[in-house]
Structure 1
Amino acid sequence: MASFDNAYSRFVALARIVLPLAALGILSTLFLVSRGPDPGDDLRQSRDTVAEIAREQRIGAPEFATVTADGTAVALSAETVRPDAAYPGQATADILHLRLDMAGGARADLRAARGALDMAAGQTVMEGGVRIESSAGYRLEAARVTAAMDQTDILAEGPVTGEGPAGRITAGQLQLTADPQAAGRYLLVFKDGVKLVYEPGR
């Protein structure tokens, strides 16, 4: 009886190894037969993508939304974000879009090729040719924009160039903040060597 038990145990142990291997072999044959030539392309590409994401700790298409203390709804999205392993709470990002829906009904959209997120400091830095559009009729470009995430405070550093309701504008800086004297109102201030080319009838 003991001999039978030992033989049965060996059979079960062998079956646990052989049967899964046989199943893998059958599945591999099915994939090879069902697919056209060069069947490993998609699998290799998938493995490469997974390996790259794992290596870079990349996050695809993240979105972040909040409401500032002065009532502005902030929505931030990116094509990819890579957390900084050395500095928790910080990350770099590609293709950023920042949207501000302000309490008074005004809106601003900012887009940039790249940027950096600092959750500890509560701010986002956008670089690589930042494009700014507002519902007030401004279409501007800046070299760099720093945006607070807990309050309405956008600082664009220059040169800042573009068009507004009155004409073409050039400045060293542009700042958008909540008006401390009136809730629901906001101040858009151009600074440092401001030039306005007035264009009547705009």
Structure 2
Amino acid sequence: MAASDNFHSRLVAWMKIILPLAALGLLSTLFLISRNFDPTKSVPVAQIDLERRAHEQGATNPVFAGVTSSGDQVMFRAKSAQPDQSDPAHLKAKVVTAQMKLIAGTVIDITSESADMNQERGTADLEGNVHITTTTGYVVDTDYLKTRIDLLYAETPGPVSGNGPPGDLAAGRMVLKTDEISGEPQLLFTDGVKLLYKPGKSKE
């Protein structure tokens, strides 16, 4: 019995030495295996300039709409819009589409590359390949178009070209507004109007 107790005591003593050494060996092996492991590369991190993103606040696919006192609907859509840091009411919009639904039934569609919009003044200045079409048959192109969101108004400070029911036309200026007397919408071409009259076109 004494021999058995003596063997057990020696076994326990050796195990106290062997087990810590084995554990140390396992830990060393783990460190050797992971020696080339870079924890900073375990999860890809996008390189984002947080300061730049903070200054680039904006909206994606924003919509601006208004109704005139006579009931005409005016709506602008953009791919993106970014406010001016010095004037939050001033927005720079890109890839703009606009539509004016007149109470008389005419619909005017407008597209442009960009627009400067001021929400306080209710203005939207479209620029860059401005293309205008109306359900009355007019198709007009220009570089710059000044419009309003709160009332029926559109004006080109520069020349326009296109065609309509009478034929092909060009002018130094175009104005869309409501006639003060009749209250009806008017599309006016002024400042050196050139019209290539096509009788057959007006009958189509």
TM-score, structure 2 normalization: 0.73
Give yes or no for contact 1:143–1:157 (8 Å, CA) kept in 2.
no
2: CA distance, partners of 1:136 / 1:49: 50
Corresponding residue of 1:166: 166
Corresponding residue of 2:54: 54
Q: How does 1:1-202 map to 2 (within 5 A)?
A: 40=44, 44=46, 48=48, 53-183=53-183, 185-202=184-201
Amino acid at match of 1:110: I
Amino acid at match of 1:93: A
Which sections of structure 2, spanning at least 5 residues, go unmatched? 1-38
1: CA distance, partners of 2:154 / 2:50: 36
2: CA distance, partners of 1:145 / 1:169: 17
Give yes or no for contact 2:113–2:130 (8 Å, CA) kept in 1.
yes
Classify the secondary structure of the residue corresponding to 2:158: strand
1: CA distance, partners of 2:49 / 2:185: 44
List per-residue Cα deviations over 1:70-99 (Å, max 9, x = no partner).
211111110010100101310111011110
Q: Could you tell me the percent identity over the aligned residues?
A: 29
Amino acid at match of 1:195: K
* CA shift in 2, pair 1:78/1:49, >3 Å: farther
Give yes or no for contact 1:142–1:157 (8 Å, CA) kept in 2.
no
Give yes or no for contact 1:56–1:82 (8 Å, CA) kept in 2.
yes
2: CA distance, partners of 1:123 / 1:49: 33
* CA shift in 2, pair 1:164/1:49, >3 Å: farther
Structure with higher Rg: it is 2
2: CA distance, partners of 1:199 / 1:163: 10
Amino acid at match of 1:57: Q
1: CA distance, partners of 2:178 / 2:48: 47
* CA shift in 2, pair 1:153/1:86, >3 Å: same
Classify the secondary structure of the residue corresponding to 1:69: coil
2: CA distance, partners of 1:136 / 1:51: 49
* CA shift in 2, pair 1:55/1:195, >3 Å: same
Classify the secondary structure of the residue corresponding to 1:158: coil
2: CA distance, partners of 1:107 / 1:160: 19
* CA shift in 2, pair 1:146/1:48, >3 Å: same
1: CA distance, partners of 2:68 / 2:90: 20
2: CA distance, partners of 1:145 / 1:190: 14
Which sections of structure 1, spanning at least 5 residues, go unmatched? 1-28, 33-38
Aligned-CA RMSD value:
2.0
Q: How many residues align?
A: 161
Q: Which moved more, 1:62-71 or 1:124-133?
A: 62-71
1: CA distance, partners of 2:91 / 2:117: 5
Amino acid at match of 1:59: A
TM-score, structure 1 normalization: 0.73
1: CA distance, partners of 2:97 / 2:154: 14
Give yes or no for contact 1:70–1:178 (8 Å, CA) kept in 2.
no
2: CA distance, partners of 1:53 / 1:94: 18
